[in-house]
Amino acid sequence: MVQRQVPNPAELLELMKFKKPELNGKKRRLDGALTIDDLRLIAKRRTPKAAFDYTDGAAEGELSLTRARQAFQDIEFHPGILRPAPDVDTSTEILGGPSALPFGIAPTGFTRLMQTEGEVAGAGAAAAAGIPFTLSTLGTTSIEGVKDANPHGRNWFQLYVMRDREISYELARRAAASGFDTLQFTVDTPVAGARLRDKRNGFSIPPQLTLGTIINAIPRPWWWYDFLTTPKLEFASLKTTGGTVGELLDAAMDPTISYDDLAVIRDIWPGRIVIKGVQNVEDSLRLRDAGVDGIVLSNHGGRQLDRAPIPFHLLPEVRKATGDGFTVMIDTGIMNGADIVAAVALGADFTLIGRAYLYGLMAGGRAGVDRTIAILRTEIERTMRLLGASTLAELEPAHVTQLTRLVPVARAAAEAVAR
Q: Which CATH number belongs to the domain containing residue 381 in this structure?
A: 3.20.20.70
Q: b or e along 186-209 (b: 16 or more beta carbons within 10 Å of the residue's beta carbon)?
A: bbbbeebbbbbbbeebebbbebee
Q: pLDDT averaged over the chain?
A: 90
Kind plus residue range of the DSSP H or E element containing 143: helix 143-149
Q: Of 359, 362, 309, 316, nearest to 332 (Cα)?
A: 309
Provide the number of structural domains found in the chain: 1
Q: Does residue 375 belong to any structural domain of this protein?
A: yes
Residue 161 in contact with residue 184, Cβ under 8 Å? no
Q: Does residue 248 belong to any structural domain of this protein?
A: yes
Which residue would you say has higher pLDDT here, 257 or 203? 257
Q: Of 417, 410, 406, nearest to 68 (Cα)?
A: 406
Averaged over 129-153, what is the pLDDT? Answer: 95
When pLDDT is cut at 50, 70 and 90, the band that residue 170 belongs to is very high
Domain that holds residue 95: 26-403
Angle subtended by helix axes 355-387 and 49-56, to nearest 10: 50
**Inter-CA distances, 102 with 122, 331, 397, Å:** 16, 12, 16
Q: Does residue 419 belong to any structural domain of this protein?
A: no
Averaged over 298-321, what is the pLDDT? Answer: 95
Cα(121)–Cα(278) distance, integer angstroms:
28
**Parallel, antiparallel, or unpaired for β 103-105 and 350-353?**
parallel
**Inter-CA distances, 91 with 131, 291, 391, Å:** 9, 26, 8
Q: Which of 16-25, 124-133, 309-318 has the lowest mean pLDDT?
A: 16-25
Name the residue type at position 373: I
Q: Which of 154-168, 197-211, 268-282, 342-356 has the lowest mean pLDDT?
A: 197-211
DSSP state of 301: G
The yes-or-no verdict on residue 240 having pLDDT over 60 is no
Q: Does residue 8 belong to any structural domain of this protein?
A: no
Q: Does residue 372 belong to any structural domain of this protein?
A: yes
Q: Does residue 412 belong to any structural domain of this protein?
A: no
Q: Does residue 11 belong to any structural domain of this protein?
A: no
| Whether residue 313 lies in the annotated active site | no
Q: Does residue 251 belong to any structural domain of this protein?
A: yes
Q: b or e along 31-70 (b: 16 or more beta carbons within 10 Å of the residue's beta carbon)?
A: eebeebebbbebbbebbbbbbbbbbbbbbbebebbebbbe
The catalytically annotated residue of 152, 300, 313, 399 is: 300
Q: Of 189, 195, 128, 123, nearest to 156 (Cα)?
A: 123
**Residue 366 φ/ψ, nearest 5 degrees:** -55, -45
